[in-house]
Structure 1
Amino acid sequence: MTSDTPAPDRTPRPAPDPLTAYGWDAERAAVFAPYAADGLAPGRVARVDRGRCEVVLAAGPADAGPDGTVTVHADTRPARTGGDPEAVVCTGDWAAVEPDTPAGPVLRALLPRRTRFLRSTSSARSEGQVLAANTDHAVVVVSLAVELDLGRLERFLSLAWASGSRPLVALTKTDLVPDSTYLVADVEAAAPGAPVLPVSAVTGEGAAALAAELAGGTAVLLGQSGVGKSTLVNALLGAEVRTSGAGRGNVGKGRHTTTARELLPLPGGGLVVDTPGLRGVGLWEADEGLSQVFAEIEELAAHCRFHDCEHHAEPGCAVLAAVDDGTLSHRRFESYRKLLRESAWIASRTDARLRAERAREWRRREAAGREMYERKRGKGHRKAF
């Protein structure tokens, strides 16, 4: 080393704040200021599983994990929140935590969510459930190893758009399909406005492009069991972090392996929430999402003769005309109508005013039906004996 070469700086530097890698920024710091004044610590919920809640803290207690994760006491049961799904803590939430209590760290409050993926559960009560919060990307994972269900894809995308996150579609297991060109085209037609990326964890196809799309934000992976979410997470992380199930037979179906929603940092920046496979995904507050997924139908509806056209049998219906001439596929139109009906039914169950309006509408239709029947029979008609 020459005399004019500067000596290396050996001044100890503090470890980087764990929350920075988890998305902490000036906007969240400003929102958290009142909680800081009360002596609470900020944290991000990294995992919720069977009543347990793990939170990443900027400065956790001595028994915190190397990434700052601690187990905190939090009520994760919807029944304790008056049935309000928005009040239940979930993976991705930003929280105010009291780190030092005799019982250990306690979650005291949740910060307002920028986005949240909210679905209706498959229970008869049609309760809402937040699957992930504060996500920037909603990745709908679809396997090409089985027959495409475009209706289910449109359902997932409707909720993804409604969540406030940016949707994209990851088509997995492309290595099992000799030519996926026509399959990709079908998915693109069902997912207007959402990037569609074919990926393979075996060959590495599309993995770099997907990682680039997700860098710098928080993404949630959504899909049925066996579509390859855990394998995709391992490809993004560059390590076997998630256990993936082997395929069954030669049909390319994986096994359900993920049991909890967990927030995982990506090596190139950003985070991903791996979720368990979803058997059923009911719509919840998804009207805006439906308008995005079926944008071409909404555009056609603007040209119907009647502004309140229901696209059933009304004269001058531009939507039905498009179905008749083949401009709009019958499958897509029926999917749109089905999801609209479901969305209206869910809303009617959760809003007393809408329930009353729905009842009045049914009574109006019944009265109109009876009137039409009487007209067909003819006034004054009496059965002769």
Structure 2
Amino acid sequence: MKINLKQYGLTEHLEQLAAATPQLALARVTEQHREAYQVISASGVLPAEVVGKLRHELTVATDFPAVGDWVLVTISPDHQLALIQRVLPRQSVLERAAVGKTGAGQIIAANVDTIFICMSLNANFNVHRIERYLTMAWDSGAVPVVVLTKADLCADVSTKLDELATVTLGVDVVTCSAQTGTGIDALKAYVTGNQTVSFIGSSGVGKSTLINGLLGHDVLDTQAIRTDDDKGRHTTTSRELLRLPTGGVVIDTPGMRELQVQGGDLTKAFTDITTLADQCKFRNCTHQTEPGCAVQAAIAAGELDASRLASYHKLQLELSYSDMSARERENAKIQRFFGSKKEMKRTMDHVQRIRRR
């Protein structure tokens, strides 16, 4: 049976790109397990791997295929394997820093139209975590939507919404409950035609349950959140692309216990601060002690929370380190705290002398 790839997000632009190399078949990556892939092409679903030539050319980990990517492949004569020859340009890419100290990026999903940022309305609720997710989401090229789950377990939803209001400027917020079905229809409105959506968030916030709601039946495994500490269990362990019966596709992703921002758009994520910054006396104002700082004036007037500015500065610093190697990050921190390695040595020698007394 021939597969209609338009049901999997195929656009006219992608068709035109593929037409330039008619000897290769167009496919979309639907699953990834380390270096093993699964793709769907017009002829069906196949396991796939990257050919040696392309593997040699792709020197950066984030250039390798990821779930959601459109690729050009050759299919084996027995139709048992697809060989990925080329990754087509991405229209959006959701990326985070890899866990650890490598500083490398990690692709969460590619070619996504809408990113559902999920957070549950229990002990998992954290306004600053949403700030981090939004910074990453705006940078991806997709449109973020904040999804608050487990509304049936929260007695003060309106209070939580008020807390989020200052950090979700220009962003839709949807409140959901898997138990009552509230919010599922609102989510369906974002998945129309050949749109691609992705769910991200911490473990146990209910991403798989919501996706099952969109699918109309249970496809993904779900687990209840631990009642003793409200911590989630990892249910999804790999990324997977699924077609929805009402149209469009959804990418499920593993829960993130640690979110390190690799790239971000602070202009959109902190539009309140960047708008105020345009009114500062000095163009290079750091919003700390400079005279004529509109941001500090807003804090003094009670119009801006100081913690909001603290988050802005923290993410700004994190982003400035994101493209550096481990050695470069270490040198940058030394420069920031001490001014130079020589001055750091002087400081440490001084501390040692004091300790010897």
1:151 corresponds to: 128
1:26 correspondence with 2:12: yes
Note the alpha carbon deviations across 1:39-72, whole angstroms, 9 max, x for none: 111000000013220000102xxxxxxxx21101
| Alpha-carbon separation, structure 2, partners of 1:327 and 1:92 | 41
Secondary structure at the counterpart of residue 73 of structure 1: strand
> What are structure 1's unaligned runs of at least 5 residues?
1-14, 60-67, 370-385
**After the TM superposition, which parts of structure 1 deviate over 4 Å for at least 4 consecutive aligned residues?**
79-83, 250-253, 358-366
1:124 correspondence with 2:81: no
Question: Structure 1 residue 330: deviation in Å?
Answer: 1.2
Scaled by the length of structure 2, the TM-score of the pair is 0.87
1:240 corresponds to: 218
> What are structure 2's unaligned runs of at least 5 residues?
344-357
273 and 304 in structure 1: CA distance in 2 versus 1, 3 angstrom threshold? same
1:140 is aligned with what amino acid? Answer: I
Larger relative contact order (CA 8 Å, sep ≥ 6):
2
1:87 is aligned with what amino acid? Answer: D
Q: Equivalent pairs: percent with the same residue?
A: 35
- Whichever of the two has the greater Rg, that structure is 1
1:271 corresponds to: 249
Secondary structure at the counterpart of residue 168 of structure 1: strand
| Alpha-carbon separation, structure 2, partners of 1:185 and 1:342 | 27
Note the alpha carbon deviations across 1:278-306, whole angstroms, 9 max, x for none: 122222231xx211010010011111111
**Which of 17, 25, 32 does residue 3 from structure 2 map onto?**
17
1:374 corresponds to: none
2:353 corresponds to: none
Cα pair 1:121 1:280 within 8 Å, conserved: no
Alignment of 1:41-120 (within 5 A): 41-59=25-43, 68-74=44-50, 84-100=60-76, 104-120=81-97
Note the alpha carbon deviations across 1:245-292, whole angstroms, 9 max, x for none: 123226654421101100011111111100001122222231xx2110
1:239 is aligned with what amino acid? Answer: H
Secondary structure at the counterpart of residue 39 of structure 2: strand
2:144 corresponds to: 167
Note the alpha carbon deviations across 1:85-139, whole angstroms, 9 max, x for none: 3311100000101002588321111111010001111221110111100000011
Question: Structure 1 residue 359: deviation in Å?
Answer: 9.0
Let me know the Cα RMSD of the aligned residues.
Answer: 2.8
Secondary structure at the counterpart of residue 54 of structure 1: strand
| Alpha-carbon separation, structure 1, partners of 2:2 and 2:84 | 23
Cα pair 1:51 1:75 within 8 Å, conserved: no
1:140 correspondence with 2:131: no
1:196 correspondence with 2:173: yes
Note the alpha carbon deviations across 1:6-44, whole angstroms, 9 max, x for none: xxxxxxxxx5633121011221111112221xx111000
334 and 166 in structure 1: CA distance in 2 versus 1, 3 angstrom threshold? same
Question: Structure 1 residue 362: deviation in Å?
Answer: 5.1
Secondary structure at the counterpart of residue 107 of structure 1: strand
Scaled by the length of structure 1, the TM-score of the pair is 0.81
